[in-house]
Amino acid sequence: MNSKEEIYNTRLMQAEQTLADARDIRDLGSKPKYVLRRAYYSMMYGLLSLFDKDDIEIDSSDHAHVISLFKEIYVMNGEADLNHYKLINDIFQINNNSDKMDKFDSYIIGPNLAENCISGAAHFLDYVKSRLATVH
């Protein structure tokens, strides 16, 4: 395995571990907001692994820009489904706004939404894994 493969595989392992963390904290009865956050970060790490594989340098601290680039580079050219973009973007928006809505977050981010985020993140990581497995 070369160093490039190590980099994106490490990021993918981080994505998978973060998704496992989301499931664990859900099972421990944590607030749905925290489950959603772990699911979101698992998708973000998966997304960053795609950029790592394709040698696309980005500022990973600007999540809105990262998600926008995902749409521009992968969705617009047909390598990813628009639903992948919508999923990560919607969860990003909810996560980003949840701190501002702390009093309402148990109503807005309930167990069903948290569970859907886990399922969505798992689906998103399946896409990432299949994309990483393809050879250019």
Band of pLDDT at residue 58, cut at 50, 70 and 90: very high
Query: Strands, DSSP E only, in the chain?
Result: none
The residue among 22 and 103 whose pLDDT is bigger is: 22
Query: Would you state the pLDDT for residue 88?
Result: 96
Q: Identify whether the C-beta of residue 132 lies closer than 8 Å to the C-beta of residue 53.
A: yes
Q: Distance between CA atoms of 103 and 101, rounded to whole angstroms?
A: 6
Q: Distance between CA atoms of 106 and 97, rounded to whole angstroms?
A: 13
The domains of the chain, with CATH numbers, are 3-133 (1.20.120.330)
Q: Distance between CA atoms of 31 and 38, rounded to whole angstroms?
A: 11
Asked if residue 105 has pLDDT above 60, the reply is: no
Question: If residue 109 lies in a helix (H) or strand (E), which one and from where to where?
Answer: none
Query: Would you state the pLDDT for residue 78?
Result: 94
Band of pLDDT at residue 106, cut at 50, 70 and 90: low
Q: What is the mean pLDDT of the chain?
A: 91
Q: Distance between CA atoms of 130 and 136, rounded to whole angstroms?
A: 13
Band of pLDDT at residue 44, cut at 50, 70 and 90: very high
The fraction of the chain above a pLDDT of 70, given in percent, is 90
Return the half-sphere exposure (C-beta side, CA atoms, 13 A cut-off) of residue 95.
21
For the chain, what is the radius of gyration of the CA atoms? 15
Average pLDDT, integer, range 95-105: 69
User: pTM score, two decimals?
Assistant: 0.91
